[in-house]
Amino acid sequence: AQSVTQPDIHITVSEGASLELRCNYSYGATPYLFWYVQSPGQGLQLLLKYFSGDTLVQGIKGFEAEFKRSQSSFNLRKPSVHWSDAAEYFCAVAPWGANNLFFGTGTRLTVIP
Amino acid sequence: DAGVTQSPTHLIKTRGQQVTLRCSPISGHKSVSWYQQVLGQGPQFIFQYYEKEERGRGNFPDRFSARQFPNYSSELNVNALLLGDSALYLCASGGTGVATNEKLFFGSGTQLSVL
């Protein structure tokens, strides 16, 4: 069965510091991979996605993610965090050919001045 | 252009009641998906509809049902509400193809509280 693990429930970083959010997945083949962000009272916004090709994916708001097949990981990074990045971040996978997403439990990001 | 709109934004029901949640996709999008997000968890897939046909169903009991109308809007119905149905219900609009998980646009959700 497909599963997505986000081992960090809550991360606190200082504004301007770098950020890495971890995501590991379990699936028989390489699925489609996504990162979404959810601000309080808001729906989910797609940050970036990986289907194939270059394993380093650029997204919106200065985020990037790297797919590592050997580690079944798809970690999200940002070189310099802004206070507006405080939100909940979800990693998701979609099996090839499926129409639904499997989400992780999320990582809450707090940004301190 | 309007994004995905959901109504109502908040809803309070009691156990055993029935509830209907509504979703209007982005103009031109033919696919609607429903997700349940329990507090502290990631969203869980409930249904996907494309061109008024059910294309996928998650692991939810038969108390959950949905339909899509000719204008591509959708309703999610939940019967015999349980306390555990309290959650944020998200609707996602998914483009013009049937394989629409490439980019889903989510609404802000309906917060359902069951007392």
Structure tokens at B24: 């209007």
Kindly give, in sequence order, each residue whose CB lies less than 8 Å from that of residue B27, ignoring residues fewer than 6 positions away.
Answer: B1, B2
Q: Does A3 contact chain B (CB < 8 Å)?
A: no
Q: Of A12 and A29, which is predicted with more confidence?
A: A12
Mean pLDDT of A26-49: 87
Mean pLDDT of A99-108: 91
Q: How far is CA B114 from CA A87, B82, B87, B88, in A?
A: 26, 7, 9, 12
> Chain B: residue nearest A90 by CA?
B42
**Which 3 state secondary structure label does DSSP give B29?**
coil
Give the pLDDT confidence score for residue B92 in this predicted structure: 93
pLDDT of residue B102 exceeding 70, the answer is no
| Whole-angstrom distance, CA of residue A33 vs CA of residue B72 | 27
Q: Does A39 contact chain B (CB < 8 Å)?
A: no
Burial B82-97 (b: 16+ CB within 10 A, else e): eeebbbbbbbbbbbee
Q: Which alpha helices (DSSP H) does chain B contain, by range?
A: none
pLDDT of residue B99 exceeding 60, the answer is no
Give the pLDDT confidence score for residue B101 in this predicted structure: 59
Minimum mean pLDDT among A14-28, A51-65, B76-90, B99-113: which range?
B99-113
Best residue in A2, A21, A24, A44 for a mutation probing chain B (most B CBs within 10 Å): A44
Give the pLDDT confidence score for residue B97 in this predicted structure: 54
| Whole-angstrom distance, CA of residue A96 vs CA of residue A32 | 7
Structure tokens at A78: 């940002």
pLDDT of residue A30 exceeding 80, the answer is no
| Whole-angstrom distance, CA of residue A60 vs CA of residue A3 | 25
**Which 3 state secondary structure label does DSSP give A4?**
strand
| Whole-angstrom distance, CA of residue B106 vs CA of residue B26 | 10
Q: Does B108 contact chain A (CB < 8 Å)?
A: yes
| Whole-angstrom distance, CA of residue B29 vs CA of residue B73 | 10
> Chain B: residue nearest A40 by CA?
B108
Nearest chain A CA: its distance from B80 CA (Å): 26
Q: Read off the pLDDT of residues B33-77 as tens digits, 9 standing for 90 and up.
A: 999 999 989 999 999 998 899 988 999 999 999 999 999 999 999
| Whole-angstrom distance, CA of residue B52 vs CA of residue B70 | 7
Residue type, B24: S
Beta-bridge partners for A46: A36
pLDDT of residue B1 exceeding 60, the answer is no
How many other CB atoms are found less than 10 A from the CB of residue B19?
Answer: 18
Give the pLDDT confidence score for residue A43 in this predicted structure: 86
Q: Read off the pLDDT of residues B5-44 as tens digits, 9 standing for 90 and up.
A: 999 999 999 999 999 999 999 998 888 999 999 998 999 9
Beta-bridge partners for A43: none
Checking phi first, is residue B12 left (phi over 0); if not, alpha (psi -120 to 50) or beta? Answer: beta
